Amino acid sequence: MKDSNSIIANAKETILLESNAIANLSNLIDQNFENSVKFILNSKGRVIITGIGKSAIIATKIVATFNSTGTPAIFMHAADAIHGDLGTIQENDVVICISKSGNTPEIKVLVPFIQNYGNKIIAITGNPDSFLGTNADFCLNTYVEKEACPNNLAPTTSTTAQLVMGDALAVCLLHLKGFTSKDFAKYHPGGALGKRLYLRVSDLIKTNEKPLVQKNSSITDVIVEITEKRLGVTAVVENETIVGIITDGDIRRMLTKNESFTSLKAQDIMSENPKTISINAMAIDALETLENFDITQILVTDDNQNYMGVVHLHDLIKEGIF
């Protein structure tokens, strides 16, 4: 029990220590941050992000965040840079150097070469008075009082602070660029996230059957249509326009109320004015409609309100959206 309590206490201490350090970052944001964002925004080149050790790992994450939010970025390892990779840096590129101490040997060697190329340097460092901090064009202070490591050695709190500063840059640039969810979808076409952003109702109904009956169709025809099309529903149409809907639930309720249905027609058991969705709507909007009205299917129409097909909850599940 003592060991268990110790583990939980250590975890909470780590989280609180890092969260307090992150909260303090807001006090360190100054004109250097604003100038850095504006310079990146107006730059005609890319953002080259470099570091060594754990800072290099953080740099790769910031690169990924920049790229996914519309700011072209490339990772360059600080050690590899002075052994051939300096060619990564082009004339109009902005270089972000990440280093907790700002005095690592590789950074001290690298910075003068970048300056010789004429590229601007943005420092992300916990020590603004360091070699990196004083030689950079803009210095973003990520000072932390203490690492979460009990020996105050392993980069923990400091790397979290670096990561958050990178996120702050990316989000500010995103706002200034007017980056929208449609733009985001361009860079995230794969997986469930991408599908939520670009998949439309028209994509969902391509392989579905199109169940339909007329107002005067017999109940037998209705049952056959629902069964054969396997969507648990059929539209009732007149001149290609939806006038009603019949679900398999409507069929069951009819059977409990009527001993014979031979004289009944589709119009006798259909629900009028059913919920519909545009064929051009996003798939995520179809899901929201199904959830809001607690239904499992919805009829699809085109711009002229002509019946186009059915979206079923299973279509959304199959695509990984639900």
Tokens of 143: 């000072």
Distance, CA of 135 to CA of 133 (rounded, Å): 6
Identify the bridge partners of residue 75 per DSSP, sorted by sequence position: 49
Distance, CA of 47 to CA of 75 (rounded, Å): 9
Among the listed residues 314, 310, 315, the one whose alpha carbon sits nearest the alpha carbon of residue 212:
310
Among the listed residues 287, 302, 278, 308, the one whose alpha carbon sits nearest the alpha carbon of residue 196:
287
Q: What Å distances lie between residue 211 and 144, 208, 231, 252, 301, CA to CA? A: 64, 9, 8, 18, 13
Task: Tell me the one-letter amino acid at 277.
Answer: I
Is 77 among the annotated ligand-binding positions? yes
Burial environment of residue 94 by CB neighbours within 10 A (0 to 12, 13 to 18, 19 or more): buried
Binding region: 77
Binding region for Zn(2+): 77
